[in-house]
Amino acid sequence: MCQPQRSCQDHPGGSAGHNKRGVDYALECVGSPVVMNSAFESTTDAWGTCVIVGWSESEAINIRVEKILMGRTLKGTYFGDWKSVEDVPKLG
C-alpha cells in the first residue's frame, strides 16, 4: 500500500515505508512468482521485509542468496496465524 503523499511508482507493491533505497515492507497477495520476486526486490537492503501471502502451487521463485545475507527478510503466511485444526471448529 502507498501513502497518498508518497510516490511508489518505482516500486511495484510499494509501502508506506518507501524511501530512495526501496521499501521497508512489501506485501505480495497475487500469487504470481514474478510479482513475488518484484515485491522482494523492492525492499531495502539491510532491513527490508517481504511477506508472501499469494499462493503458487506449480511455480518457484528465484531469490539471490546475497539479498538475504545482506539483511532482507522473506516471510510467508498461510491462513495468517490460524491453526485450521484448532480454529475452524471454533467458527461453528
Q: What is the pLDDT of residue 18?
A: 53
Q: Which three cell numbers stand for residue 61?
A: 521463485
Q: What is the pLDDT of residue 55?
A: 83
Q: What is the pLDDT of residue 65?
A: 93
Q: What is the pLDDT of residue 59?
A: 85
pTM of the predicted protein model:
0.67
Q: Which three cell numbers stand for residue 75?
A: 516471510
Q: What is the pLDDT of residue 6?
A: 42
Q: Which residue numbers in the chain have pLDDT < 50?
A: 1-16
66-90 b/e with 16+ CB inside 10 Å = b?
A: ebeeeebebeeeeeeeeeeeeeeee
Q: What is the pLDDT of residue 87?
A: 81
CATH architecture of residue range(s) 25-91: 3-Layer(aba) Sandwich (3.40)
Q: What is the pLDDT of residue 2?
A: 38
**What is the dihedral sign for C-alpha 3, 78, 76, 29?**
negative
Residue bearing cell 527490508? 48
Burial (CB < 10 A; 0-12, 13-18, 19+), residue 18, is: buried
Q: Where are the domains of the chain?
A: 25-91
